[in-house]
Structure 1
Amino acid sequence: MGAAYFERLGPTRFRATEHTSGAWQVSEQHIAPALGLLAHCIERDRDARRPDGLIVGRLSYDILGTVPVGEVEVATRVLRPGRTIDLVEATMTYADRAIVRARAWLMATADTMSIAGGALPAVPGPQECEPWAMRDVWPGGFIGGVEVRRQVLGPGRSVAWVRTPVPLLADESVSTHARWAGLLDITNGVAVRADPRDVLFPNVDLTAHFVRSPVGEWAGFDVTVIFGGDGLGVTHTILHDAAGPLGTQSQLLTVRPRHQ
């Protein structure tokens, strides 16, 4: 196995390592590291174009298909340049087939500490949650390489804290925000409402909104999973770090009983 989730092969080409494998099929990439790589490419494009340090306000991903553990390419383009706000898109392809498309709103900072606040509730910290062997439920190199602490609150309801010792990209500096983006997709598997041996419930998208940039190595998730009666579901998450709540996230699920 490589030392990171991805190895750079060129300006836009990357090789996924076995650390990315799982969780629905171990021959395919768990999409979480790919989301982090796209965020990293968007930030590198930003830094090459402008020096003013716009921060990520929203990350929105459409997951267009599955991808083997292999070589991928990332193309980045600015959809809406602006003086204080940019909209940037990055698309990952495998064998010329689009796999994931990301769009990020990059926004100028301002001093709003005097009016900062909100009603998002606090959650137990990582030291207050029990270690959870997530690999007992989900296979693959990605799940096998993360540390998870969890407190189960009920069916489809959990608080989980996640961190990983595996770098997103070998031999390359990556921001905390991009590293965090590489963990976001794990939320659909930490508050399991149905046994994945009986029910498939992959997500087709992921959208995260941030009120500030994350800090620290632990990513905190207050997760609620809802299944509807028509084959649709939603995983809704309040995002936390060591400093408290920092945003929200939602994933649309396609729910498919295996034995119908």
Structure 2
Amino acid sequence: MAYFKREGEHVFHPTRHVSGAWNTDEQHIAPSIGLLTHVVECDRDRRRDDGLVIARLSFDILGTLPVDRVETSVQVVRPGRTIELVEATLVHDDRPAVRMRAWLMREGDTAALAGSPFPPIPAPEEMPVWDPTSVWAGGFIATAEVRRIASEPGRATYWVRTPHDLVEGEPISEVARAATLFDIANGMAVRARPEDVAFPNVDLTAHLFARPRGDWIGFDTTVSFGPTGLGLTSSVIHDRHGPVGTVDQMLTVRP
């Protein structure tokens, strides 16, 4: 079963696999992040055929979402031949719940310059299987296959994949597939038990310098709590070929 079923050109209905970790009556935001990425790429492909790729994804989470139908919209904020800025919104019952901005950029041949000082992480086969439902409830977490090495509270490297489609019957790009898993980072390297401290994220920003490939997405994650109720989950994102970008999530920390 997929995370969403399409009910119209801009209307989607979530399945039980989107239920959240903090509250199982609400949607986990991770599938919605993947959904908005997918609809932005679908809109791009309707408008142009020159293959601009997503380089940055920035999401503001405006509120919680019940497990109920949602609508999406996309508009071009800054058009351009080689670079454009696009905004997409996810709405429930006429209330915006997630707003996304994405920079799309034209690719070029920089293979001779490619490289990154981000250190590699062990392959999925070199990490032990870890059951995330030992920490978190919810349908989305239950769909995730995780292999993880945790070194201390707030510090872990891990790989995640899911066998579930994003939208029933629709092919999606590898970028959208990866984006569906980005928001899981805040729950894979916790500094405190979620029964004791709430630390939901209010946003998520991903920068990609290479397109992620394959079904496994790797994370090298650190979680920091400040002294005044703020926190940050910061991850370097990997595929099997090496690092491909970063993901950051701003947290509200509530003991």
Query: TM bucket by the smaller chain?
Result: over 0.9
- 1:116, distance to aligned residue in structure 2 (A): 1.1
Return the alpha-carbon distance in structure 1 between the equivalents of residues 214 and 42 of structure 2: 21
Is 1:255 matched with 2:249? no
* Counterpart mapping for 1:40-59 below 5 A: 40-59=38-57
1:173 matched to 2:171: yes
State the 1:128 CA deviation. 0.9
State the 1:115 CA deviation.
Answer: 1.0
Partner of 2:196: 198
Q: Distance in 2 between matches of 1:242 and 1:116?
A: 16
Which letter maps to 1:198?
D
Deviation at 1:223, TM superposition (A): 0.3
Residue ranges of structure 2 left out of the alignment (5+ in a row)? none
How far did 1:133 drift? 0.7
Give the letter for the 1:124 counterpart.
P
What is the total number of aligned residue pairs between the two structures? 255
Q: What is the identity, as a one-letter code, of the residue corresponding to 2:183?
A: D
Question: Where do residues 23-38 of structure 1 align in structure 2 (5 Å cutoff)?
Answer: 23-38=21-36
CA distance in structure 2 between the partners assigned to 1:117 and 1:192 by the alignment: 30
Task: Give the match for residue 223 of structure 1.
Answer: 221
Match for residue 61 of structure 2 among 60, 63, 79: 63
Map of 1:76 onto structure 2: 74
Output the CA distance in 2 between the equivalents of 1:109 and 1:19: 34
Structure 1 CA distance for aligned equivalents of residues 64 and 128 of structure 2: 32
Structure 2 residue 104 is matched with structure 1 residue 106: yes
Q: Which runs of 4+ in 1 moved over 2 A?
A: none
Unaligned runs of 5+ in 1: none
Give the secondary-structure state (helix, strand or coil) at the position aligned to 2:60.
Answer: strand
Percent identical pairs in the alignment equals 56
Q: Which amino acid aligns with 1:140?
A: G
CA-atom RMSD, angstroms?
A: 0.5
Structure 1 match to 2:5: 7
Name the TM-score, length of structure 1 as normaliser: 0.97
What is the TM-score with the length of structure 2 in the denominator? 0.99
Q: Distance in 1 between matches of 2:69 and 2:116?
A: 43
